[in-house]
């Protein structure tokens, strides 16, 4: 009897040891790949910091998913089980947020992608009411879309992120608010659309950027959170963050204090 118990125990232990934690994440959009590669790298860092809790593997799916589709797949235990995005009330009601801000305050400052020939039009803007005469472009379920509309800024939406760049060139809207760390890479990735990063304005509002998992898979979120907090404490989080050129350039742009800042209120 004892021998049978020992055999069963050893088989179970071996099976457990052979089954790493499998984290399935979205593929990176082509226009965002330069800076977005940070998020899988940060996830890997967090899981390495908790490797004593068990082995892991990170798998990128090949299918491109919109932000709403990513959230739906996670909520329904579908083809991915972790995503990263800005937070809002709906997302936190449906998913489990890992409450460690991934971008510090970089996600709070928005610059605009515009048509290159429109810079003078934006340089003349001195008040938020003037900006309200123009149309912004954004993803249909992005947290920032809700913020823009709550502040009286008209928004034209797209279900797919990559569609927004040709829509801007086609004058479906006038500007595309982007994180200060995102815009330059996106402009270069869409050079054929003849877009530019607007030079004079910031929008400022607080939208924390988190990893999200399913509420039914909170154990994954808790392990990631433990790893992130270890990385914050030992300095490896900051080392990775500061290694991203787009983040360094974005912080330098904020620190220059040369743009007019329009403060938006949260809904």
Q: What percent of the chain has pLDDT over 90?
A: 77
Write down the pLDDT at residue 8: 45
Q: In whole angstroms, what is the distance from residue 33 CA to residue 52 CA?
A: 30
For domain 106-206+258-263, give its CATH number from 3.40.50.150, 3.40.190.10, 1.10.1060.10, 3.40.50.1980.
3.40.190.10
Write down the pLDDT at residue 219: 96
The domain 12-103+209-255 belongs to what CATH superfamily?
A: Periplasmic binding protein-like II (3.40.190.10)
Angle value at C-alpha 196, between 192 and 198, nearest 5 degrees: 165
Is beta strand 209-213 parallel, antiparallel or unpaired with respect to 96-98? antiparallel
As a whole number, mean pLDDT of residues 67-94 equals: 92
Among residues 119, 131, 99, 139, the alpha carbon closest in space to that of 203 is found at 131
Does residue 155 surpass a pLDDT of 60?
yes
Does residue 10 surpass a pLDDT of 90?
no
pLDDT class for 151, splitting at 50, 70, 90? Answer: very high
Mean pLDDT computed over every residue of the chain: 91
Q: In whole angstroms, what is the distance from residue 222 CA to residue 123 CA?
A: 46
Among residues 205, 221, 222, the alpha carbon closest in space to that of 213 is found at 221
pLDDT class for 42, splitting at 50, 70, 90? Answer: very high
Give strand pairing partners of 110: 179, 203
Is beta strand 109-115 parallel, antiparallel or unpaired with respect to 176-179? antiparallel
Q: In whole angstroms, what is the distance from residue 232 CA to residue 245 CA?
A: 20
Q: In whole angstroms, what is the distance from residue 214 CA to residue 152 CA?
A: 33
Domain ranges of the chain: 12-103+209-255, 106-206+258-263
Q: In whole angstroms, what is the distance from residue 36 CA to residue 44 CA?
A: 14
Identical fold between 12-103+209-255 and 106-206+258-263: yes
């Amino acid at each position: 009897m004892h021998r049978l118990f020992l055999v069963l125990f050893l088989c179970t232990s071996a099976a457990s040891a052979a089954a790493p934690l499998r984290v399935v994440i979205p593929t990176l959009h082509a226009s965002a790949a330069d800076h977005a590669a940070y998020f899988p790298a940060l996830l890997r860092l967090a899981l390495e910091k908790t490797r004593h809790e068990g082995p892991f593997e990170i798998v990128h799916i090949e299918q491109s998913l919109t932000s709403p589709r990513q959230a739906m797949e996670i909520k329904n235990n579908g083809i991915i089980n972790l995503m990263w995005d800005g937070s809002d009330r709906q997302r936190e009601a449906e998913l489990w947020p890992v409450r460690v801000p991934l971008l510090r305050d970089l996600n709070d400052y928005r610059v605009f992608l515009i048509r290159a020939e429109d810079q003078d039009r934006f340089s003349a803007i001195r008040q938020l009411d003037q900006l309200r005469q123009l149309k912004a472009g954004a993803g249909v379920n992005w947290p920032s879309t809700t913020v823009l509309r709550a502040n009286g800024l008209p928004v034209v939406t797209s279900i797919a992120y990559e569609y927004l760049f040709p829509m801007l060139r086609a004058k479906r809207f006038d500007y595309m608010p982007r994180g200060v760390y995102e815009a330059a890479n996106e402009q270069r990735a869409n050079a054929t659309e003849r877009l530019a990063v607007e030079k004079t304005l910031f929008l400022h509002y607080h939208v924390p950027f988190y990893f999200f998992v399913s509420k039914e898979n909170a154990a994954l979120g808790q392990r990631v959170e433990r790893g992130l907090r270890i990385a914050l404490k030992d300095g490896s989080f900051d080392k990775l963050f500061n290694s991203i050129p787009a983040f360094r350039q974005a912080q330098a742009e904020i620190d220059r204090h040369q743009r007019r800042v329009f403060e938006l209120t949260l809904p």
